Amino acid sequence: SPLGITKSILVLELFVLQSILTTNKNMSKIDKYKILEEINSGAFGTVFLVKKNKKKYALKIEKILKTEAKVPKGSPIWNENDFCKKIANRYPTHFMKLYTYDIITDCTHKQKRVKYFDQLDKDTQKDINRRQKSTVCVRRIYSLISGDLENNAVRMCKHAIIMCVIQVLNAINIMHSNGYVHQDIHNGNIGYIETTKKYLLIGGSRIPTYGKIYKLIDYGRTQSRKFMRKKEFENAKSRDMSIIPRLLGQWIFRQKHWEKAKRAETTSKKPPIYKKLRKQKYNHKICVLLFEVLYPETYQKYILGRKFKRVVHPLYFISESDMVSIIKNLMFGKRVMDILLKYK
Protein backbone atom coordinates (compact mmCIF):
# COMPACT_ATOMS: atom_id res chain seq x y z
CA SER A 1 0.00 0.00 0.00
CA PRO A 2 1.10 3.67 -0.44
CA LEU A 3 1.29 4.04 3.34
CA GLY A 4 3.57 1.01 3.59
CA ILE A 5 5.83 2.34 0.84
CA THR A 6 6.07 5.76 2.53
CA LYS A 7 6.94 4.11 5.84
CA SER A 8 9.62 1.98 4.17
CA ILE A 9 11.17 5.04 2.52
CA LEU A 10 11.27 6.86 5.89
CA VAL A 11 12.95 3.88 7.58
CA LEU A 12 15.48 3.73 4.72
CA GLU A 13 16.25 7.46 5.06
CA LEU A 14 16.89 7.06 8.80
CA PHE A 15 19.10 4.02 8.13
CA VAL A 16 21.15 5.97 5.57
CA LEU A 17 21.46 8.93 7.96
CA GLN A 18 22.60 6.65 10.78
CA SER A 19 25.16 5.04 8.44
CA ILE A 20 26.49 8.45 7.38
CA LEU A 21 26.87 9.58 10.99
CA THR A 22 28.56 6.39 12.18
CA THR A 23 31.00 6.10 9.26
CA ASN A 24 32.62 9.41 10.10
CA LYS A 25 36.39 8.84 10.44
CA ASN A 26 36.57 10.75 13.71
CA MET A 27 34.04 8.86 15.80
CA SER A 28 32.61 10.91 18.64
CA LYS A 29 30.35 10.20 21.60
CA ILE A 30 27.30 11.18 19.55
CA ASP A 31 27.97 8.44 16.99
CA LYS A 32 27.14 5.89 19.71
CA TYR A 33 23.50 7.06 19.81
CA LYS A 34 21.05 5.15 17.60
CA ILE A 35 18.55 7.22 15.59
CA LEU A 36 14.96 5.95 16.00
CA GLU A 37 12.83 8.55 14.22
CA GLU A 38 12.51 12.22 13.29
CA ILE A 39 10.68 14.30 15.88
CA ASN A 40 10.58 17.76 14.35
CA SER A 41 12.12 19.86 11.60
CA GLY A 42 12.48 23.63 11.46
CA ALA A 43 14.04 26.20 9.15
CA PHE A 44 17.57 25.68 10.46
CA GLY A 45 17.65 22.29 12.21
CA THR A 46 16.13 18.83 12.61
CA VAL A 47 15.48 16.96 15.86
CA PHE A 48 15.64 13.16 16.06
CA LEU A 49 14.67 10.70 18.76
CA VAL A 50 17.80 8.70 19.64
CA LYS A 51 18.64 5.89 22.03
CA LYS A 52 21.68 4.83 24.04
CA ASN A 53 21.87 2.22 26.80
CA LYS A 54 18.06 1.85 26.79
CA LYS A 55 17.62 5.57 27.48
CA LYS A 56 16.08 8.00 24.98
CA TYR A 57 17.33 11.50 24.13
CA ALA A 58 16.83 14.25 21.54
CA LEU A 59 19.49 14.74 18.85
CA LYS A 60 19.48 18.15 17.17
CA ILE A 61 21.39 18.46 13.87
CA GLU A 62 21.92 21.97 12.53
CA LYS A 63 23.76 23.09 9.38
CA ILE A 64 26.27 25.88 10.07
CA LEU A 65 28.75 27.93 8.05
CA LYS A 66 32.47 27.10 8.02
CA THR A 67 33.23 30.41 9.72
CA GLU A 68 30.99 29.40 12.65
CA ALA A 69 32.78 26.07 13.11
CA LYS A 70 35.60 27.78 15.02
CA VAL A 71 33.01 28.79 17.64
CA PRO A 72 34.27 32.33 18.34
CA LYS A 73 33.23 33.82 21.67
CA GLY A 74 29.84 35.50 21.36
CA SER A 75 28.83 33.50 18.26
CA PRO A 76 25.42 31.70 18.20
CA ILE A 77 27.00 28.28 18.85
CA TRP A 78 29.12 29.63 21.69
CA ASN A 79 26.08 31.45 23.17
CA GLU A 80 23.97 28.28 23.17
CA ASN A 81 26.74 26.20 24.78
CA ASP A 82 27.44 28.94 27.32
CA PHE A 83 23.75 29.19 28.28
CA CYS A 84 23.37 25.42 28.61
CA LYS A 85 26.47 25.12 30.78
CA LYS A 86 25.66 28.01 33.12
CA ILE A 87 21.83 27.96 33.25
CA ALA A 88 20.03 25.06 31.53
CA ASN A 89 22.10 22.31 33.13
CA ARG A 90 21.86 24.04 36.54
CA TYR A 91 18.06 24.38 36.34
CA PRO A 92 16.85 21.20 34.57
CA THR A 93 13.29 21.63 35.86
CA HIS A 94 12.49 24.38 33.36
CA PHE A 95 15.16 23.83 30.68
CA MET A 96 16.48 21.00 28.51
CA LYS A 97 19.79 19.55 29.70
CA LEU A 98 22.65 19.46 27.17
CA TYR A 99 24.68 16.25 27.54
CA THR A 100 27.24 16.62 24.75
CA TYR A 101 27.82 18.24 21.37
CA ASP A 102 30.23 18.05 18.44
CA ILE A 103 30.93 19.71 15.09
CA ILE A 104 31.54 17.59 11.98
CA THR A 105 32.94 18.94 8.71
CA ASP A 106 31.77 16.18 6.35
CA CYS A 107 28.06 16.28 7.17
CA THR A 108 25.69 15.14 4.40
CA HIS A 109 22.50 15.80 6.34
CA LYS A 110 19.88 17.51 4.15
CA GLN A 111 17.67 19.99 5.93
CA LYS A 112 14.04 19.91 4.76
CA ARG A 113 12.62 23.16 3.42
CA VAL A 114 9.84 24.51 5.64
CA LYS A 115 6.37 25.13 4.22
CA TYR A 116 6.53 28.84 5.08
CA PHE A 117 9.86 29.39 3.27
CA ASP A 118 8.30 31.72 0.68
CA GLN A 119 6.85 33.88 3.47
CA LEU A 120 10.29 34.56 4.98
CA ASP A 121 12.21 37.72 4.12
CA LYS A 122 14.85 37.50 1.38
CA ASP A 123 17.83 37.76 3.77
CA THR A 124 16.55 34.79 5.82
CA GLN A 125 15.95 32.78 2.63
CA LYS A 126 19.51 33.49 1.46
CA ASP A 127 20.90 32.48 4.86
CA ILE A 128 18.97 29.18 4.77
CA ASN A 129 20.18 28.44 1.22
CA ARG A 130 23.81 29.17 2.18
CA ARG A 131 23.59 26.79 5.12
CA GLN A 132 22.00 24.08 2.98
CA LYS A 133 25.12 24.02 0.79
CA SER A 134 27.45 23.78 3.80
CA THR A 135 29.04 20.46 4.77
CA VAL A 136 29.50 21.54 8.39
CA CYS A 137 27.01 20.50 11.09
CA VAL A 138 26.71 20.95 14.83
CA ARG A 139 25.09 18.04 16.67
CA ARG A 140 23.71 18.22 20.21
CA ILE A 141 22.27 15.63 22.57
CA TYR A 142 19.53 17.08 24.79
CA SER A 143 17.16 15.65 27.38
CA LEU A 144 13.82 14.60 25.92
CA ILE A 145 10.45 16.36 26.26
CA SER A 146 6.96 14.88 25.87
CA GLY A 147 5.57 17.61 23.61
CA ASP A 148 5.08 21.36 23.22
CA LEU A 149 2.22 23.83 23.51
CA GLU A 150 1.88 24.16 19.75
CA ASN A 151 1.12 20.46 19.34
CA ASN A 152 -0.66 19.99 22.65
CA ALA A 153 -4.22 19.21 21.63
CA VAL A 154 -5.43 18.80 25.21
CA ARG A 155 -7.60 21.77 26.18
CA MET A 156 -6.51 23.01 29.60
CA CYS A 157 -8.92 24.31 32.20
CA LYS A 158 -8.72 27.96 33.29
CA HIS A 159 -6.50 27.24 36.30
CA ALA A 160 -4.19 24.93 34.34
CA ILE A 161 -3.34 27.67 31.82
CA ILE A 162 -2.50 30.08 34.66
CA MET A 163 -0.24 27.48 36.28
CA CYS A 164 1.39 26.92 32.89
CA VAL A 165 2.03 30.66 32.53
CA ILE A 166 3.52 30.82 36.05
CA GLN A 167 5.97 28.02 35.19
CA VAL A 168 6.97 29.71 31.93
CA LEU A 169 7.33 33.01 33.75
CA ASN A 170 9.57 31.38 36.36
CA ALA A 171 11.84 30.03 33.61
CA ILE A 172 12.03 33.49 31.99
CA ASN A 173 12.87 35.04 35.37
CA ILE A 174 15.70 32.54 35.86
CA MET A 175 17.15 33.53 32.47
CA HIS A 176 16.80 37.27 32.95
CA SER A 177 18.08 37.35 36.53
CA ASN A 178 21.21 35.50 35.36
CA GLY A 179 21.80 37.91 32.49
CA TYR A 180 20.42 35.92 29.52
CA VAL A 181 17.59 36.44 27.04
CA HIS A 182 15.89 33.75 24.94
CA GLN A 183 14.66 35.93 22.03
CA ASP A 184 12.52 33.21 20.43
CA ILE A 185 9.76 32.28 22.90
CA HIS A 186 6.59 31.03 21.22
CA ASN A 187 4.27 28.03 21.58
CA GLY A 188 6.57 25.67 19.71
CA ASN A 189 9.47 26.57 22.01
CA ILE A 190 7.54 25.89 25.21
CA GLY A 191 7.90 22.17 25.81
CA TYR A 192 6.64 20.00 28.65
CA ILE A 193 7.26 16.66 30.29
CA GLU A 194 4.53 14.64 31.94
CA THR A 195 4.93 14.20 35.68
CA THR A 196 3.36 12.48 38.66
CA LYS A 197 4.35 15.41 40.90
CA LYS A 198 1.29 17.28 42.09
CA TYR A 199 3.09 20.51 42.99
CA LEU A 200 6.14 22.63 42.18
CA LEU A 201 7.60 25.16 44.60
CA ILE A 202 7.71 28.54 42.81
CA GLY A 203 8.01 31.94 44.44
CA GLY A 204 7.51 30.43 47.88
CA SER A 205 4.16 28.89 46.81
CA ARG A 206 3.11 25.36 45.93
CA ILE A 207 1.94 25.45 42.31
CA PRO A 208 -0.30 22.63 40.99
CA THR A 209 1.31 20.98 37.94
CA TYR A 210 -1.82 19.43 36.42
CA GLY A 211 0.48 16.62 35.29
CA LYS A 212 2.92 18.77 33.29
CA ILE A 213 6.22 20.56 33.95
CA TYR A 214 6.95 23.22 31.33
CA LYS A 215 10.37 24.00 29.89
CA LEU A 216 11.77 26.64 27.58
CA ILE A 217 13.49 24.90 24.65
CA ASP A 218 15.56 25.80 21.55
CA TYR A 219 18.43 28.04 22.66
CA GLY A 220 19.75 28.97 19.21
CA ARG A 221 19.08 32.68 19.76
CA THR A 222 19.95 32.95 23.44
CA GLN A 223 22.39 35.70 24.29
CA SER A 224 24.24 37.00 27.30
CA ARG A 225 23.99 40.61 28.36
CA LYS A 226 27.80 40.73 28.15
CA PHE A 227 27.49 40.89 24.35
CA MET A 228 24.55 43.33 24.20
CA ARG A 229 24.06 47.01 24.78
CA LYS A 230 21.94 47.90 27.80
CA LYS A 231 18.97 49.13 25.77
CA GLU A 232 19.20 46.14 23.43
CA PHE A 233 19.15 43.75 26.40
CA GLU A 234 16.15 45.49 27.99
CA ASN A 235 14.20 45.37 24.72
CA ALA A 236 14.99 41.67 24.36
CA LYS A 237 13.70 41.04 27.91
CA SER A 238 10.47 42.82 27.01
CA ARG A 239 10.04 40.65 23.90
CA ASP A 240 10.57 37.51 26.01
CA MET A 241 7.90 38.64 28.46
CA SER A 242 5.34 39.42 25.75
CA ILE A 243 4.54 35.69 25.57
CA ILE A 244 2.68 35.95 28.91
CA PRO A 245 -0.38 38.00 27.84
CA ARG A 246 -0.38 36.15 24.52
CA LEU A 247 -0.54 32.76 26.24
CA LEU A 248 -3.50 34.01 28.26
CA GLY A 249 -5.03 35.55 25.15
CA GLN A 250 -4.88 32.28 23.25
CA TRP A 251 -7.72 30.95 25.31
CA ILE A 252 -9.95 33.57 23.75
CA PHE A 253 -9.67 31.88 20.37
CA ARG A 254 -9.43 28.36 19.11
CA GLN A 255 -5.84 27.36 18.45
CA LYS A 256 -6.29 27.10 14.67
CA HIS A 257 -7.40 30.75 14.50
CA TRP A 258 -4.74 32.10 16.86
CA GLU A 259 -2.03 32.74 14.27
CA LYS A 260 -4.44 34.80 12.20
CA ALA A 261 -5.55 36.72 15.28
CA LYS A 262 -1.98 37.28 16.46
CA ARG A 263 -0.86 38.79 13.16
CA ALA A 264 -3.91 41.03 12.90
CA GLU A 265 -3.56 44.65 13.92
CA THR A 266 -6.61 46.87 13.62
CA THR A 267 -8.85 47.64 10.68
CA SER A 268 -9.33 51.10 9.22
CA LYS A 269 -12.65 51.29 11.06
CA LYS A 270 -11.34 51.48 14.58
CA PRO A 271 -14.02 50.57 17.17
CA PRO A 272 -14.83 52.89 20.09
CA ILE A 273 -13.11 50.65 22.66
CA TYR A 274 -9.85 50.80 20.71
CA LYS A 275 -10.05 54.59 20.51
CA LYS A 276 -10.74 54.74 24.24
CA LEU A 277 -7.59 52.73 24.94
CA ARG A 278 -5.58 55.02 22.67
CA LYS A 279 -6.80 58.04 24.63
CA GLN A 280 -5.38 56.43 27.78
CA LYS A 281 -1.95 56.80 26.09
CA TYR A 282 -1.08 53.12 25.81
CA ASN A 283 1.40 52.60 23.00
CA HIS A 284 0.14 50.79 19.90
CA LYS A 285 1.52 47.33 20.75
CA ILE A 286 0.16 47.36 24.30
CA CYS A 287 -3.10 48.80 23.01
CA VAL A 288 -3.59 45.89 20.59
CA LEU A 289 -2.76 43.37 23.33
CA LEU A 290 -5.23 44.96 25.72
CA PHE A 291 -7.86 45.12 23.03
CA GLU A 292 -7.60 41.46 22.00
CA VAL A 293 -7.32 40.13 25.57
CA LEU A 294 -9.83 42.33 27.37
CA TYR A 295 -12.50 42.57 24.68
CA PRO A 296 -12.53 39.29 22.73
CA GLU A 297 -16.04 39.60 21.27
CA THR A 298 -15.32 43.07 19.85
CA TYR A 299 -11.88 41.96 18.65
CA GLN A 300 -13.42 39.04 16.78
CA LYS A 301 -16.01 41.27 15.16
CA TYR A 302 -13.66 44.05 14.00
CA ILE A 303 -10.41 42.16 13.40
CA LEU A 304 -11.36 38.67 12.33
CA GLY A 305 -14.70 39.55 10.81
CA ARG A 306 -16.45 36.45 12.16
CA LYS A 307 -17.59 34.81 15.37
CA PHE A 308 -16.53 31.45 16.77
CA LYS A 309 -18.76 28.99 18.59
CA ARG A 310 -16.73 29.02 21.78
CA VAL A 311 -15.08 32.03 23.39
CA VAL A 312 -13.08 31.65 26.59
CA HIS A 313 -12.87 35.07 28.17
CA PRO A 314 -9.79 35.56 30.37
CA LEU A 315 -11.70 38.01 32.53
CA TYR A 316 -13.79 35.09 33.76
CA PHE A 317 -10.80 34.21 35.90
CA ILE A 318 -8.48 37.24 35.76
CA SER A 319 -9.75 40.69 36.65
CA GLU A 320 -9.44 43.54 34.14
CA SER A 321 -7.20 45.56 36.46
CA ASP A 322 -4.85 42.58 36.91
CA MET A 323 -4.71 41.95 33.16
CA VAL A 324 -3.81 45.60 32.55
CA SER A 325 -1.13 45.38 35.27
CA ILE A 326 0.33 42.23 33.69
CA ILE A 327 0.70 43.91 30.31
CA LYS A 328 2.02 47.19 31.73
CA ASN A 329 4.63 45.34 33.83
CA LEU A 330 6.06 43.13 31.08
CA MET A 331 9.57 44.26 32.04
CA PHE A 332 9.11 43.11 35.64
CA GLY A 333 8.61 39.35 35.84
CA LYS A 334 8.39 39.27 39.65
CA ARG A 335 5.44 41.70 39.67
CA VAL A 336 3.59 39.67 37.03
CA MET A 337 4.18 36.44 38.96
CA ASP A 338 2.84 38.02 42.17
CA ILE A 339 -0.34 38.99 40.31
CA LEU A 340 -0.86 35.49 38.87
CA LEU A 341 -0.12 33.69 42.13
CA LYS A 342 -3.39 35.08 43.48
CA TYR A 343 -5.28 32.78 41.12
CA LYS A 344 -3.59 29.48 41.96
The pLDDT tens digits for 261-284 are 445 544 445 666 556 656 665 555
Q: What are phi and psi of 40, to 5 degrees?
A: -155, 155
Instruction: Give residue 29's pLDDT.
Output: 85
Query: Residues 271, 274, 280, 282: what is their CA dihedral angle, to the nearest 10 degrees?
Result: -150
Q: What is the DSSP string of 270-320?
A: --HHHHHHHHTT--HHHHHHHHHHH-HHHHIIIIISS--S----GGGTS-H
Instruction: Give residue 291's pLDDT.
Output: 63
More confident residue, 262 or 136: 136
More confident residue, 266 or 239: 239
Instruction: Give residue 256's pLDDT.
Output: 44
Instruction: Give residue 33's pLDDT.
Output: 94
Question: Helix (H, G, I), strand (E, B), or coil: what is residue 267?
Answer: coil
More confident residue, 118 or 290: 118
- Note the pLDDT tens digit of each residue in 221-233: 999 999 999 989 9
Q: Which of 33-42, 256-265, 269-278 has the highest mean pLDDT?
A: 33-42
Answer whether residue 41 shows pLDDT above 90: no
pTM value surpassing 0.85: no
Q: What is the DSSP string of 111-167?
A: PPPPTTGGGS-HHHHHHHHHHHH--EEEEEEE---SEESTT--SPPPHHHHHHHHHH
Answer whether residue 294 shows pLDDT above 50: yes
Neighbours of 153 (CB within 10 A): 6
Q: What is the DSSP letter of 88?
A: I
Q: What is the average pLDDT value for the chain, to the nearest integer?
A: 79
Nearest to 161 by CA among 85, 212, 121: 212
Answer whether residue 244 shows pLDDT above 50: yes
Q: What is the DSSP string of 221-241?
A: T-EEGGGS-HHHHHHHHHHHH
Answer whether residue 105 shows pLDDT above 60: yes
- Note the pLDDT tens digit of each residue in 137-167: 999 999 999 988 876 644 677 678 888 888 9
Question: Helix (H, G, I), strand (E, B), or coil: what is residue 248?
Answer: helix
Q: What are phi and psi of 186, to 5 degrees?
A: -150, 180
More confident residue, 54 or 336: 54
pLDDT cut 90: percent of the chain above it: 37
Answer whether residue 92 shows pLDDT above 90: yes
Instruction: Give residue 81's pLDDT.
Output: 93
Alpha carbon distance 42, 148 (integer Å): 14
pLDDT grade, residue 117 (50/70/90)?
confident
> CA 338, 153, 94 angle in degrees (round to 5)?
40
Instruction: Give residue 255's pLDDT.
Output: 44
| CB within 8 Å of 303: residues ≥ 6 apart | 261, 264, 265, 266, 267, 292
Paired sense of beta strands 147-148 and 98-104, if any: unpaired
Instruction: Give residue 36's pLDDT.
Output: 95
Instruction: Give residue 258's pLDDT.
Output: 45
